Chains A and B, each alone.
Chain A
Amino acid sequence: MRILVGQGSCGNAAGANKVFDVLVSAFLENDIKAELLSTGCIGACYLEPIVEIIADNGDKCTYVRVTAEDAAQIVEKHIVGGNIIPELLMPDEDVKALESQTKIALRNCGIINPENIDEYIANGGYLAAKKSITELSQDEVIKIIEISGLRGRGGAGFPTYFKWNAAKNSPGAIKYMVCNADEGDPGAFMDRAVLEGDPHSVLEGMLIGGYSMGATEGIIYVRAEYPLAIWRLEIAIEQAREKGYLGQNIFGTNYSFDIRIKAGAGAFVCGEETALIASLEGERGMPRLRPPYPAVKGYWGRPTNINNVETFANVPWIVANGGEAFAAMGAVSSKGTKVFALTGKIKKGGLVEIPMGYTLREIIFDIGGGIKEDREFKAVQMGGPSGGCIPKSLIDTPVTYEDIPATGAIVGSGGMVVMDDTTCMVDMARFFLDFTEKESCGKCSYCRVGTKRMLEILNRIVNGDGRDGDIELLEELADKISAGSLCALGQTAPNPVRTTLRHFRNEYEDHIHNKKCTAKSCRALLTYSIDEEMCKYCTLCLRACPSGAITGAARELHVIDQEKCIACGRCFTACKFDAVLVE
C-alpha cells in the first residue's frame, strides 16, 4: 500500500503537514507497514489537503479536505480496517474534471515523491536525456523540438527551437543554459508546482536543451519566495549528480554539464531575460537593449539561452514521445498543452493543464466550476501586469497565442484571475499600475515617471476626484510609455489600463462623472445607510463599527452618521438582516 500526501506549499498552507504528522505517528503507533510519502500538487488546490491511498492491486482512493481528525479516521477505518470512508472521497465531478485534463508538464506532479529520483526514473525519467545525448545529434534534438511546435511558456511564446538553434550556432567554448524560475506574475503559480512536484523534469529538460546547444553549465534562477522549491531542487540536483546524469561525461559520452541554483532577491523585473542575467552577475537587475540577444552575448558575455520552467518540463516528454505527438494537440499555431493557474472568484481554484485552444468558457465554467457563490462572471485577467482583462462578451475566445492578443490581453505565463460583479475594473487597473510603478527599475524615464503619473490619475479616479480629460490623459500616457520604454515591463505596463478602457470604459466614466462605483468596491464612492424597515435593532452593526459612526441602542433604530463613517463595510458584513444598504 502507498499513501501519498500532497505537500506543495498550497497543500501545507491548507494543513497537509499536520495531516502528514498525524499519519506518521499513527503509523509508528500501530506498526503499519505501508509506504507513506509526501508528493507535489495535483492541481486541485481547492480540495487540499489531499490524501491518496493506492492499494497493492492498484486501486486508488482519494480523500479530500482532510483534517487532522479525518487523518486519524483514515488510518483506523481504511488503512487498518480496510473500509473506505465514502464521505471523505473526492466527489465524482471533481474526479471527472481532473481526468479531462491532459498532463504533460505536470505529468508526475502529485504522483511521485519529488525527493526521490528513483520514482522519476521508474516513470521513464532521464530516458529522453539518455536518448538525446547518446543517440541523437544536436541538430536532431532541435529538429524534434521544432516539429513539436513548442513555444516558450514564460510569457512571450517564442518558438523554443529557434532560440536553441541560435545559441548552438553562436561560437564559444563556454555556453550557459538558464532556467527562468522567477515566476513574478502575481497570481500565477504553475512553475512553483512543477518545481515542487517534479524538479527532475526541469533538470532533464535543461540537460537535453543544454546538450543541443552545447552548454557547459546550467543555472536555475529561482525567486526567493519559493523556499520549498529551492529545497527540492537542491535535493534533485544532488541525486542527479550521484546517478551521473549531471557532471562529467554524462552517460559515458564526452558531454559534461552541471546545474546550480541562484536564489533571486525579490525584483519582478529580474524575470526579464537581460535583467536576469545582470542579477546573475551580482548587479542591480536592470534590463539592457537587445540586440545583442543573450544567445550571442549573455551571462558574462557568453552565449546563453533562457527558458521558462514549464517550457523545460515539456521537453523530456516531447523527446520521448516525438515532436509529432505534441504537435497533434492544441491549435493551429499554439501546439501542445498549457498549464493555467485558475484563481480569484472561482469555485475550483487550482492548476489545470489542457491542450491549447480550449475556450475561456470551457476553462472557467466546465473545469473551474464557475464563479464563487454563483455570482455574475465579469472578466478574467490574463498575462498579469503585462496583460489585460477579458470581458464576459468574449468568453468564447479560444486560448491560443493568436486569439487572446486580439482581446488586448496576452496568454502570458498562464495566470487566470477570475473576477465577478464585485470587482471594480478601474481598481484592477490601479492595482496593476501600483505594481508596475513599484517594480519599474527606473532606467527609462517613461516607465519610471509615466507609470507614476498614471497611478496618480487612477488613484484620483477611485478616490472620487476624477476629472474631465483624465481618460484621454491616461490614453496619451499609455501610448508614450509603451513607445518610450526599453523592456517589455514598461512597454506593456499600460495594458491593464488599455484593456479596461477598451472593455469597461463606462466604469471609468461612472467613477469620474457620476462619482459611482457599480461594483461597490471603491470606498470613497460608497455611502452606507440603514434600512428602517429591515433593521431589527440588534446592535450588531453598532458594535462592529470601528469609528463609532452608528448611533442607537437595543430596541432603538440604528442610524449611520455620514460624517464619521469611513465606509469600511463592517456593518454590512455584520448585519444578519440585510438592513445595511450600500450605494
Chain B
Amino acid sequence: MSCERGCTGEMRYDYTELDKTLAYYGGTDGSLITVLQKAQDIYGYLPREVIEYISAGLKLKSAKVYGVATFYTQFRFNPVGKYLILLCMGTACHVNGAKTIEEAIIEELGISDGETTEDGLFTLSNVACLGCCSLSPVMMINQDTYGTLTADKVKEILDGLRAAA
C-alpha cells in the first residue's frame, strides 16, 4: 500500500506493543476508541500507517476508523513535541484572562493552537476546562498542572522547560 507522501508500505513502525493491544481487545465489540487511545499512547499520535494497521487488525474499514478518530479531539494525526501544552480555554479561564496567556505562549514559542515548534520541543493545544477552574487561568504540560498564570509566569515556566530539555 502506498500513500500520497510516497511511502512504499514498508513497516516503519514497531508493532509489537500494538499487536498485544489488538490481540487483547480484538475480540471485544466496541473497543475501537480504547485501541486508538492505546495506539496514541504508544506512538504519541496516530500515523496513517498505524490507523491502516488497526483497521486491518480489527477488520474494520479504514474510513470507519478515521471517522471515529477524527470525531474526538483527543486523537492527533501529527507528531507532538516533547512537551504538550494543554491550555485551558474554559469559561473560568476565559473570564480570568486566558487570551493573554495564549498570546504570551504565541509570543514566546511562535506557535498557535495545534502547532509544534520547529525544534520539536513544544506543542500547543487549546482545551476546554482542566477542572482546576478556581486556579484559573490554567495550563497543563504533560502531567503537571500550572495555575494562576500570568504572562510572565508562563515565560518563566517555558524557559525552565527549555533549559531542562
> A interface vs B, CB < 8 Å?
9-10, 12-14, 45-46, 48, 183-189, 192, 224-227, 262-268, 279-285, 300, 341-345, 349-350, 381, 384, 415, 417-419, 423, 428, 431-432, 435, 441, 546, 568
Contact = CB atoms under 8 A, between A and B. Distances in A.
Contacts of A282: 29-34, 68
Contact of A45 (B30, B68, B89, B134): B134
Shortest beta-carbon contacts, A-B, top 5: A186-B90, A187-B91, A349-B134, A45-B134, A265-B72
B81 to A, nearest CB: 19
Nearest to A523: B99
A355 to B, nearest CB: 22
B142 to A, nearest CB: 11
A410 to B, nearest CB: 15
A265 B75 contact: yes
B103 interface: yes
9 contacts: A9-B145, A12-B144, A45-B135, A186-B89, A225-B86, A283-B30, A345-B95, A415-B133, A418-B95
B128 A265 contact: no
A48 B138 CA distance: 15
B30 A9 contact: no
B134 A342 contact: yes
Given A283-B68, A344-B92, A263 B129 contact: no
Interface residues of B, number: 43
B108 to A, nearest CB: 12
A227 B30 CA distance: 22
A341 B129 CA distance: 13
B139 to A, nearest CB: 10
Contacts of A189: 129, 131-134
B103 A568 contact: yes
Interface in B30-52: 30-34, 36-37
B130 interface: yes
A192 B74 contact: no
Given A265-B72, A265-B74, A13 B138 contact: yes
Given A10-B134, A349-B133, A281 B74 contact: no
B67 A423 contact: no
Nearest to A10: B132
Contacts of A384: 91
Given A13-B138, A283-B68, A224 B74 contact: yes
Nearest to B25: A282
Nearest to A263: B37
Contacts of A546: 107
Contacts of B82: none
B72 A14 contact: no
B44 to A, nearest CB: 15
Contacts of B68: 282-284
Contact of B90 (A187, A267, A342, A441): A187
Residue of B31, B107, B128, B129 most packed against chain A (CB within 10 A) = B129
A431 B90 CA distance: 9
B128 A186 contact: yes
Contacts of A283: 30, 32, 68
B155 interface: no
B145 A431 contact: no
A300 B31 CA distance: 13
B92 A417 contact: yes
